[in-house]
Chains A and B, each alone.
Chain A
Amino acid sequence: MKAKFLFLLIASMFAVPGMSLAQDEGETRVEGSFSVGGIGSGLTSQDSSKASEYRDLSDGAFGVFEYRSRSSRFFHDGYGENLGRDDMFIQFRGGMYNEFKYSVRGDWLTHNFGFGPDGARTPYINPGSSNLTLFSNVPVELANSAVSPWRSFDYAIKRRNIGGAFEFSHGSPWYFLLETDQAKQDGISNYAVALGTSPGNGFTDVLYPVDYRTYNVLLEGGYQTPRGHASVSVLQSDFENDHTLLSFQNPFFGFGTDTATFAPDNYYARIGANGMLRQLFWNSTLSGRVTFDQVTASQDMIGAVLNTANSDLLSPTNPSAPTFEGKVRNVTATASLASVPTRKLDTRTYYRYYRRSNRSTDVVFNTTVSGLACFEEGTTSPQNVNVPCAGHFYEYTKHNPGVEAGYRLTTDNRISSGFDLLHTQRNRFDSNKTSESKVFVQWSNTSFETITARLRYQFLNRSSKFLIENAGFDANSPFFLERFVRSFDVANVNQHMVKAYMDWTPVEFLDFGLEIYYKRNNFKDLTLGRLNDRRKEIYASISYGDPSKYRVTLFGDVEFINYDSFHRTVNAGTCPETAPNCFDPFTPATPTAFNWASQLKDKNWTVEFATEWFMTPKLTFRGSAIIQQTRGSVDFQSETLDDGTPAAVLFPITSYDDTTRKSVHPRIIYALPRGMELTVGYAFENYSYSDDQYNGYQYTIGTGPTTSFLTGIYAFPRYRADIGYGTIRYSF
């Protein structure tokens, strides 16, 4: 509240002198409006956070203002809405023609994820603290039926962006720009941690206090003319986090104090240069950009951690350096030549270069104690070998040349085609080189007054070099599985994409819209992982009416998304003697080692309607309605045993983020005498949710030291909202 009020005071003071300057000219035209209103809402929900995810629906008053002023030398605009509320927005802009421009802006955003007491609650007695303490009598008396004494909290982040810009050109091609802003985030966020060192040891949701601040300052200077443009910019962005460590009591480790780490402060600096030259040979435009950036961060390493079940004893981690000094640098360079050599032909040739290098401290944790040690594949036997854990520093170099050409069959009837090659070299354990080739052909037509149409086909081929084809000592080593797995972000793939688009206006005030989208990824040369994914979407719309009298619009969209994948389950770290080579997916299935397949399906559709009707010169009606549905499911197939029975009975997932949203929002606007205007509106929303991961939700799972503790996050998004509001506006 204090910050909002101060900002408004400062911003108003900033604006008023500017206006006074303008008034000195003696020919100032000012217009604007001022509104006051009220909002009241009734929310029916166990946890109403989804209803107000990004909106402040609390009962109360709000204000809106706007002004515009113009004189022979100055212009000033101001706008603010939801004054005093959590989603307030204020902006002032203005300047002196051909001399300078300024802007000041404040934007408040709340992002709500979970509200207590019936939704978000925790067994830690001090949510919001960076040192969480459990109830003294956990876990025995914290069975699911006894969660009511848990502490309530709101999983909510408030973000406030305040910034401004000043651009000075003095009527010349030269310009100088200063932009600065501060983003501040406060609140409580939900995190989760494994309690022990095995998933069987349970987990707990913990809450960490968010207190982020990001300060950005951009300086840019350049020269701009119709013929060319050149600029140099320097950006400094500092991120500060007041809570980089979270301490919490861990019941699995004898209620000892455990620690989770969070993003440390980081400092990002970027230098960039842009350039462009027009009117070159073949009516060409040459564009280019070079950037260099560096991000650094520093965090002290934790020297000892809990590692013994039912004990609060600490084990040393023996880091090779007391502090991790992170330093990542990126260099990019891009050049593009767009040409129009003839009236019918246009081309574009480009090249992009990216280089990411990592010069961070290489920290190794010199311990081979079980639970703290990483492991590698054995060189003399299939048994894994405990080794010290070491960081991994990702680096890559990318080269991305491409060429496109378009040919006009008629003036606005154009076919185009292009080829794009992306070659990536990276230091990654599974694949160090990837090459992607992409070609497209497109036909577009804007030559008719009634139709705009576009049809595009794109084919992409990706081919990677893999480093894991000989992983694992033999098929009794878990690492052997890696020979058969391909991560979908580097896996060899053929991708087909078709997109058709049309806008058609057969008669005045009647518009049809259509878009059809199809994309399929066929992953190749793999046994385990994602086999293919498909996305099909059809969108259609119809709109009718003279916008100055009335207008209605209706659109619908249906979307099908599929992911097919193939996996192997081995419920053991080593193969039993009776079933050797269990990590080879081509060995016969056993009850503990078998292959399985899944087909994930998302089916989504939406129908939305809106109208705007100027009923009389004074009375306007606006309304909108939405029905939207998402449905997800997964089907499974298990490999069969020798006797023909499935190795495992796998039940389908029938609800996977199933949602239905219904929304109606009518309002009337009535023009009163003397520049006054009255708006009255009502909104109804109903949101239902079903998901097999949350249905029948419990706040605890299991018993004893391995009990998992949950906080209700994302479990109860269902809501019904009735929102009424009214505003009265005075325009001058």
Chain B
Amino acid sequence: MVIRSVLISTVVLISFLVLTASGEDVLAQAEKGMDCLRCHQDQAGILETKHGAGADPGSPVGRGEACAACHGINIQHESNPSQHKHPVRFDKGAVPARQQTEACMSCHAGNRHLAFWETGRHGRNDVRCNDCHAVHAKPPRGSTIAITRKDPSTNPFVNTERQFEYETCITCHKQTRVQINKPSHHPIIEGKVTCSSCHNPHGSISPGMIKHETVNVQCESCHAEKRGPFLFQHPAVEENCLSCHAPHGSSHAKLLNEKVPNLCQDCHDWSRHPGTAYSGDQGFIRLGGSTVRTPNTRFVARSCLNCHNAIHGSNAPSTRGKFLTR
């Protein structure tokens, strides 16, 4: 492990040496038109952002508009700042949310990622761009843009220096903050799946602001083996993965909404084993007063899935496939 890590790191280090062979500070150029920083020194972080990239001819600083590009111009502001505010401010409540968003859209409306902003729930619910984007902050490690993180992270140990996207989203989506930390969860808090892996925060034309047209297409974009098509299908699976799964997290294995066998029995009642009551005395441990003497194979471990493991569909022949047991 140590040797391979050193090997890999060496390759990266060589790249660095090439990269850092030259490097002239162009801060002075980036500061063109940034007179506002004489007073607003606490906003100097803007120079570390895309907006402050003086080298980019498309950025507010690059095209010489600097702060006025977003905040507008009030020539009396310099003489009496408290009396003469800038036309566009981004404090909550100071200026209507829609007006704040329009300031951003005046440049970014042509961005294809914002094509569905007006029809998305964020746009219609007065979510402002700077609720999520830390416009004046230097991007954190591993990111080209800075997103807000209001509070310190409660994340359990994950070996990373990145600021994860979910830490912005949970500011408003508070229950999701709890769900993604449940015993069964997608690797969101581990930084391997992001909220925007499934959702488009800039607006979507699909319910739940998911990126794809249906929930199943969304799930199968990663879980490609579930696409089938199978000869023997499970109708509930084919129509909506969410009938059984809670994608943000669950107390139960495999992100299930409810524990098996109860989940299965809420649809399947039949003679013999589907309709049988699997009570607490049918586990591995013998309970006093119970007449059950051996563990019930329909209850212990994964219960129904002990036999019906092909729950997402099967191409096995005859009854093997029909009952999803192979």
Contacts and interface: CB of A to CB of B under 8 A. Distances in A.
A27 B124 CA distance: 43
A71 to B, nearest CB: 6
A515 B299 CA distance: 36
Given A80-B12, A87-B159, A567-B277, A212 B224 contact: yes
A179 interface: no
B316 A261 contact: yes
Contact of B318 (A5, A191, A367): A367
A648 B151 contact: no
Contacts of B181: 606, 608, 626, 628
A488 interface: yes
B57 A568 contact: no
- In the complex, which of the residues B175, B277, B314 has the most CB atoms of chain A within 10 Å of its own CB atom? B277
Contact of B159 (A16, A55, A567, A649): A55
B138 to A, nearest CB: 10
Interface stretch (A122-130, A146-154, A327-335, A458-466): A327-335
Contacts of A628: 181-182
A77 B225 CA distance: 34
A173 B111 CA distance: 9
A411 B96 contact: yes
Given A259-B326, A324-B315, A394 B235 contact: yes
B297 interface: yes
Given A517-B175, A632-B259, A543 B151 contact: yes
Given A30-B20, A328-B229, A350-B119, A61 B297 contact: no
Interface in A583-635: 583, 596, 598, 600, 602, 604, 606, 608-612, 622, 624-626, 628, 630, 632, 634
A479 B206 CA distance: 39
Contacts of A557: 174-175, 177-178
Nearest to A533: B258
A35 B101 CA distance: 38
B208 interface: no
Interface stretch (B23-31, B33-41, B69-77): B23-31
Interface string A226-245: 10010100000101010000
A661 interface: yes
B126 A444 contact: yes
Interface residues of B, number: 157
Nearest to B21: A23
A563 B258 contact: yes
B113 to A, nearest CB: 9
A156 to B, nearest CB: 14
B109 to A, nearest CB: 4
Contact of A81 (B53, B157, B162): B162
B187 interface: yes
Nearest to A25: B55
A365 interface: yes
Given A327-B229, A569-B276, A226 B109 contact: yes
A89 interface: yes
B317 A305 contact: yes
A56 B190 CA distance: 11
Contact of A698 (B159, B214, B284, B298): B284
Contact of A600 (B110, B111, B238, B258): B258
Contact of B152 (A454, A481, A551): A551
B19 A64 contact: no
Nearest to A74: B55
Nearest to A86: B1
B55 A224 contact: no
B233 to A, nearest CB: 5
A394 B233 contact: yes
| Residue in B221, B232, B235, B325 with the greatest tally of chain A CB atoms within 10 Å | B235
Contact of B236 (A222, A365, A487): A487
Contacts of A622: 152-153
B156 A569 contact: no
Given A285-B119, A297-B228, A659-B251, A630 B317 contact: no
Interface in A698-732: 698, 701-702, 708, 710, 713-715, 723, 725, 732
A657 B275 contact: no
A289 B200 CA distance: 15
A502 to B, nearest CB: 10
A26 B24 contact: yes
Contacts of B294: 701-702
Contacts of A175: 112
Contacts, number: 564
Interface string A72-111: 1101011111111101010101000110000000010101
A60 interface: yes
Contacts of B309: 191-193
Main secondary structure of the interface of A (DSSP, over half): strand
Contacts of A54: 187, 190, 192
A723 B284 contact: no
A350 B177 CA distance: 30
Contacts of A268: 220, 224, 227
Contact of A84 (B4, B53, B220, B321): B4
B213 A334 contact: yes
Contacts of A650: 277, 279
Contacts of B299: 693
B306 A192 contact: yes
B152 A624 contact: yes
A70 interface: yes
Contacts of B118: 278, 285, 287, 338
Contacts of B265: 565, 567
Interface string B286-325: 0101110011011111110111111000111111111001
A291 interface: yes
Interface string A327-363: 1101010101010000000101010101010101101
Contact of A447 (B11, B25, B93): B93
Interface string A397-423: 000000010100001101010000000
Interface string B94-106: 1011000000010
Contacts of B269: 481, 484-485, 528-529, 567-568
Contact of B182 (A205, A327, A600, A630): A630
Interface in B111-152: 111-112, 115-116, 118-119, 123-126, 141-144, 150-152
A29 B23 contact: yes
A12 B12 contact: yes
Contacts of A654: 280
A553 B175 contact: no
A81 B240 contact: no
Nearest to A7: B8
A636 B277 contact: yes
B65 interface: no
A392 B15 contact: no
A551 B154 CA distance: 12
Name the residue among B6, B232, B283 with the largest chain A CB count within 10 angstroms: B283
Given A373-B319, A412-B97, A557-B178, A4 B8 contact: yes
A87 B190 contact: yes
Contact of B112 (A194, A229, A528): A229
A203 B18 contact: no
B266 interface: yes
Nearest to B252: A657
B157 A683 contact: yes
A168 interface: no
Contact of B267 (A389, A488, A611): A488
Most buried by A among B14, B222, B318: B318
Given A557-B178, A598-B277, A651-B279, A481 B96 contact: no
5 contacts: A89-B162, A263-B225, A334-B205, A484-B269, A651-B289
4 residue pairs, one from A and one from B, having the closest CB atoms: A326-B229, A60-B1, A683-B157, A84-B5
